[in-house]
Amino acid sequence: MFGSKPSFAVLFDMDGTLIDSEPYWLASEQALAAEHNGKWTHEDGLSVVGMSLDDSSKVFKDKASVDLEPSEIVTRLTADVQSQLQKVIPWRPGAKELLLDLRKHGVKTALVTMSLRRMAQQVVDAIGFDAFDVIVAGDDVLRGKPHPEPYLKAAEQLGFSPGHCIAFEDSISGITSAEAAGTIAIGIPNFVKIPEQEGRILWESFEGVTYKTLRKFVK
C-alpha cells in the first residue's frame, strides 16, 4: 500500500476485455445451433458481443431457430464456456499485470460483466490474488448493458461517484453502458470495432498501462 488513499476506482468488463473468451462463446453458440439443426455464423456471434445474456439469448433463439427457452440457452452456453475456462483462461495482454499494480496501490476495483455470477466468480478465483472488491454480474442487475445500471451499481458499491471511476470495455454495448453511467470509459477493442467519436478514448491493449497511467485521468 502506498501513500494516501487513491482518488479513483477502476471497473473492468470481463469477456473480451480481461479474458479473451469470445471464441469460447462463439464455439458454444455454434455447437448448440448445430445440435438443433440451426445455423449461427461468426458474424451472428459478433452481433451479440457485450449484450446482456437475456437479450443475446433471445437473438440466438430467433436467428439459430433453437427450440429452447432463453433461460435454457443461457444455462447451456454458460456451462459450456465454464468448461472451456476450466482448462484455459486466456488473459488479455497486460490485464493481470495492471490488476496487480492497482491492488498494490490500494485502488478499489470492480468486475462488471454480463456473464452469470458463477462464471465471473470462476475467473476471479483463478486470478491468484485478491483482484476485486466487487462483482456486478448479469444476474445482479435488472437492465444489462448497454443500459448504465451495471456501472452505476458498481460505482455505488465501491463508494465512488461514476466520474471518479475508470471503466474498461471491449464492445460497443459495453462502452455505451460505461459512458452513459458517467464513468471515464476507455475502449480496448478486441473482436468488435468500437467507433471513434469525440471524447472517446480507445487503446490497443493493457500492455504498459499502470496505476501511474490511470491516475492522470482523475483530478
pLDDT tens digits for 134-183? 999 999 999 999 999 999 999 999 999 999 999 999 999 999 999 999 99
List all residues 6 or more positions away from 18 whose beta carbon is below 8 Å from its beta carbon. 12, 91, 92, 95, 99, 111, 123, 168
Please report the pLDDT score of residue 191 as a whole number.
Answer: 87
In whole angstroms, what is the distance from residue 60 CA to residue 66 CA?
8
Give the burial class of 129: count Cβ atoms within 10 A of its Cβ; 0-12 exposed, 13-18 middle, 19 or more buried: exposed
Q: What pairs with residue 109 in β-bridges?
A: 10
Q: For 32-44, how does the pLDDT look when each residue is reduced to its tens digit (9 = 90+)?
A: 999 999 999 999 9
In whole angstroms, what is the distance from residue 20 CA to residue 165 CA?
23
| Domain spans in the chain, listed from the N-terminal domain onward | 9-19+90-215, 22-87
169 phi and psi angles, rounded to 5 deg: -145, 150
CATH 3.40.1130 fits 22-87, yes or no: no
User: Please, what CATH class does the domain formed by 9-19+90-215 belong to?
Assistant: alpha beta
Is it true that the peptide bond before 146 is cis, omega within 30 degrees of 0?
Answer: yes
